[in-house]
A = this chain, B = another copy of it.
Amino acid sequence: MKFQLIAQDIRTSARAGILSTAHGEIETPIFMPVGTAGSVKAVHQRELETDIKAQIILGNTYHLYLRPGIPLLEKAGGLHKFTGWNKPILTDSGGYQVYSLAENRKITADGVAFKSHIDGSSHIFTPESVVDLQRAIGADIIMAFDECTPYPCEHAYARSSLELTHQWLTRCVDRMKETTPYYGHEQALFPIAQGSTYRDLRERSAEFIASQGQPGNAIGGLSVGEPHEEMYAMTSLVCGILPADKPRYLMGVGTPANILECIALGVDMFDCVMPTRNARNGMLFTSRGIINIRNEKWKDDLTPLDADLGGYASTFYTKAYLRHLVINKEILGAQIATLQNLTFYLWLVGEARRKIREGTFTEWKDKMVKIIKQRL
Residues of A whose CB lies within 8 Å of any CB of B are 37-39, 41-46, 67-68, 72, 75-76, 82-84, 299-300, 302, 312, 316-318, 320-321, 324-325, 327-328, 330-332, 334-336
**Distance A316 CA – B44 CA, assembled complex (angstroms):** 10
Is the CB–CB distance between A331 and B41 below 8 Å?
yes
Report the Cα distance A315→B76, complex, angstroms.
16
When chains A and B are docked, how far (Å) is the Cα of A76 from the Cα of B331? 22
B75→A321 contact, CB < 8 A: no
Establish whether residues A324 and B75, one from each chain, have CB atoms under 8 Å apart when the complex forms: no
Contacts of A45 in B (CB 8 A): 316
A interface majority secondary structure: helix
Let me know if B72 and A320 touch, CB within 8 A.
yes
In the complex, residue of chain B having the shortest beta-carbon distance to the beta carbon of A38: B324
A279 → B minimal CB distance (Å):
11
Instruction: Please measure, in the bound complex, the distance between the C-alpha atom of A335 and the C-alpha atom of B321, giving whole angstroms.
Output: 19
- Report whether A67 and B302 are in contact in the complex, using a CB–CB cutoff of 8 Å: no
Q: Assess whether A302 is in contact with B76, with CB atoms less than 8 Å apart.
A: yes
Q: How far is the CB of A79 from chain B (nearest CB, A)?
A: 10
Of chain B, the residue at the smallest CB distance from A317 is B84
Q: Are A84 and B316 in contact (CB under 8 A)?
A: yes
Chain B residues near A82: list those with CB within 8 A. 302, 318, 320-321
- From B37, B44, B72, B320, contact of A300 by CB (8 A): B72
Is the beta-carbon distance between A321 and B46 smaller than 8 angstroms? no
Q: What is the CB-to-nearest-CB distance from A327 to chain B, in angstroms, rounded to a whole number?
A: 7
Q: Do A67 and B320 contact each other (CB < 8 Å), given the known contacts A42-B332, A72-B300, A332-B44?
A: no
- Please judge, given known A-B contacts A320-B76, A335-B335, whether A327 and B41 are in contact too, CB under 8 Å: no
Determine the distance from Cα of A318 to Cα of B76 in the docked complex, in whole angstroms.
10
| Chain B proximity of A365: nearest CB distance (Å) | 33
The CA of A327 and the CA of B45, in the complex, are separated in Å by 19
Question: Does the CB pair A332–B43 fall under 8 Å?
Answer: yes
**CA–CA, A301 and B320, complex, Å:** 42
Q: Which of B43, B299, B321 contacts A38 (CB 8 A)?
A: B321
A118 nearest CB across to chain B (Å) = 9
